[in-house]
Structure 1
Amino acid sequence: MVEVGPGEAIQIRSLNAISGDVAFLGIPNENGIRMAVADYGQIGGHDVEVGTGMDDLCSADGGQAAAQILVADQDVVGVIGTSCSGAATAASPLISAAGMVMISGSNTSPALTSDLAGTAGKNYHAGYYRTAHNDLYQGAAAANFALDVLGVSTAAAIHDGDPYTEGLATAFADAFKAGGGTITGFTAVNKGDSDMVPVLTEVAAGAPELLFFPIFQPEGDFIVQQAPTVSGLEDTVMMAADGLLNTNFLAVAESQGMYFSGPDVRYGSNYNQST
């Protein structure tokens, strides 16, 4: 338990991906935290301080290293983050064990909370919460769109082994099969790979009408650029998710005509309060 004395500030910390290819997600998260603290004001007569933002590096190693620093600070009561589910799987156990609260605005891996029946996921720890959706919903939405709107009956999926990408690819594949479709391939690339031809050739062997690859940059760039060069994928429909829904990826010429799944962020006229 943390005691906040008279005149002392409540200490919370931001733990988000503020460098690298996923900074487009983490930096707005951190800015939003600071805006919210300034807008909300005092709590019980105490100011709230965020301190220096910490970087989760969008990785398990980054999440663990940052969490070790955070739990060593006995004045901190809670953490807002991480940006990436992979970082959360390593940070959450440490933060939970320290009796602290962790709230993420963008983690979506089902393993961090529960399945739709309420069964706890393998990476759930007490004190962990999120305001983002569960990817079981996003995977189903992507699969239903592919089946019902695009009219495809066969699909393949590629992930990179990260809890977010693998969880979303699995949710898509399960929902696609449940809807009557056939998954012709389910495979992975390694983070850092640039030659995607071998894995794309493997995928092409199943002749999928659609390829779902809910991964990040730069691997997503290489997949969409190299897929048209692989025999059997020239006319395959490409679909990704919110991990690639950013201006840098959309600037890649081959991304034109793709489909993406992700949250609806049209907040309407009351967007300031909605966010």
Structure 2
Amino acid sequence: MKAIFPTLVPVGLALAAAAATLPAQAQQVVRIGHVGPVSGPQAHYGRDNENGARMAVDELNAQGVTIAGKKLRFELVAEDDAADPKQGTAAAQKLCDAKVNGVVGHLNSGTTLPASKIYNGCGLPMISPSATNPQLTALGYKSVYRLLANDNALGAGLAEHAFKVLKLKKVAVIDDRTAYGQGVAEVFKNTARKLGMEVVSEQYTNDRAVDFTAILTAIKSKKPDGIFFGGMDPQAGPMLRQMQQLGLTKAYLFGGDGICTEKLADLASGARTLSNVVCAIGGLAIDKLPGGLEWRKRYDAKFPKQFQVYSPYTYDATMVLVDAMKRANSTDPKVYAAKIAQTDYQGVTAKVQFEPNGELKNPAMSLYTYKDGKRINAN
């Protein structure tokens, strides 16, 4: 009978073979959804927002974040809503179906409001970096948060500046009929009247218009000291050119964060009326924040000449979601969502803490003007 002897295998090879038969300890993928307009006239906003979220994802991956003993790999799932509410709700449903772990967005109030209902229905936490309509946090959704001051602060702050600092007596109001534009214009108008300013004209346009000659001509006859525009910079740029053409060269043009971009100077195409702009953003100027200038250098190195307004907020929103995951020791939205309400995170834009309704606690507001074609802080 032939003797059977065990085959001897070097220990190293044996361990390697054993490891090959076991499933590798793969990284857990955590997907963060982002939605904004990356097509259409507002694409520069959307790209800037997406850049901020992507920058956060890249830095988180470089950090090697571990939760519940698993090393995480973060991915950004970016969708385009073209600033259109219908496309925005479709994008929201797509992210729900994809079972992403959380959402940063949307850019516009008009897309964020209907999308928030969808996210609430599928249990996805959402932090908006830029939608400022106050209604967003009045809907009662427990996992909806806002990372900057809302229109109540922006519209009222601009009206107070017009009255108390610039000593204006007569103002006109234009809005683009979107949830954002109409909302912030309404707050400005009501505050202006309470302060004692006369609202001499109320005009309306839309977020695709480029010819404002008729409404500006009607406003000119009322001789206002200032015009408030509730809308975005693709409209504000042509409006400034047409104000110059019509001789409205002494009237201020006020606006919220929608017009307060670095691109506005390009869109105004050299119009001298650019120097009459006074606009507001819900947050401190990045050069006034601890680490803000260093963050901007990193952004500019990664995305040259693309900075607009909100990328620091999408960056912070992404970090706040992951901070909540860390504290919950889970990436499951059903588990970590409750931790967002308890956030105490030092971000680039603010010390992030939330009110019970999802609003940012103690939001700051910054005023800007334009000099020599550059946006400058006026606070």
Whether the TM-score (by the shorter chain) exceeds 0.5 is yes
For residues 168-187 of structure 1, the aligned pairs below 5 Å read 168-187=184-203
**Residues 48, 12 of structure 1: CA spacing in aligned structure 2 closer, same or farther, 3 A cutoff?**
farther
Q: Name which one, 1 or 2, has greater alpha-carbon Rg.
A: 2
Look up the match of 1:249. 264
Question: Alignment partner for residue 109 of structure 2, among 60, 85, 89?
Answer: 85
Percent identity (aligned): 27
**Residues 190, 38 of structure 1: CA spacing in aligned structure 2 closer, same or farther, 3 A cutoff?**
closer
In the alignment, is the contact (CA less than 8 A) between 1:57 and 1:87 conserved in 2?
Answer: no
For residues 217-236 of structure 1, the aligned pairs below 5 Å read 217-230=233-246, 233-236=248-251
**Residues 130, 183 of structure 1: CA spacing in aligned structure 2 closer, same or farther, 3 A cutoff?**
same
Give me the whole-angstrom Cα distance separating, in 1, the residues matched to 2:107 and 2:186.
20
Runs of 5+ consecutive residues of structure 1 not aligned to the other structure: 1-5, 114-119
Give me the whole-angstrom Cα distance separating, in 2, the residues matched to 1:209 and 1:145.
13
Question: Alignment partner for residue 258 of structure 1, among 277, 297, 305?
Answer: 277
Give me the whole-angstrom Cα distance separating, in 2, the residues matched to 1:46 and 1:99.
24
In the alignment, is the contact (CA less than 8 A) between 2:120 and 2:141 conserved in 1?
Answer: yes
In the alignment, is the contact (CA less than 8 A) between 2:54 and 2:76 conserved in 1?
Answer: no
In the alignment, is the contact (CA less than 8 A) between 1:103 and 1:129 conserved in 2?
Answer: yes
Note the aligned Cα RMSD (angstroms).
2.4
| SS of structure 2 residue aligned to 1:47 | strand
Question: Alignment partner for residue 33 of structure 2, among 1, 10, 13?
Answer: 13
**Residues 222, 7 of structure 1: CA spacing in aligned structure 2 closer, same or farther, 3 A cutoff?**
closer
For these two proteins, the number of residue pairs brought into alignment is: 261
Runs of 5+ consecutive residues of structure 2 not aligned to the other structure: 1-25, 296-345, 349-379
TM-score by length of 1: 0.85
Deviations 1:94-148 (CA, angstroms, capped at 9, x unpaired): 11111111111111111112xxxxxx2xx55442111121111111110111001
**Residues 257, 10 of structure 1: CA spacing in aligned structure 2 closer, same or farther, 3 A cutoff?**
same
Alignment of 1:76 with 2:100, yes or no, is: yes
Q: Which has the higher contact order (CA 8 A, sep 6+)?
A: 2
Question: Alignment partner for residue 108 of structure 1, among 132, 153, 165?
Answer: 132
Look up the match of 1:208. 224
Look up the match of 1:99. 123
- Kindly provide the amino acid, as one letter, of the partner of residue 275 in structure 2: Q
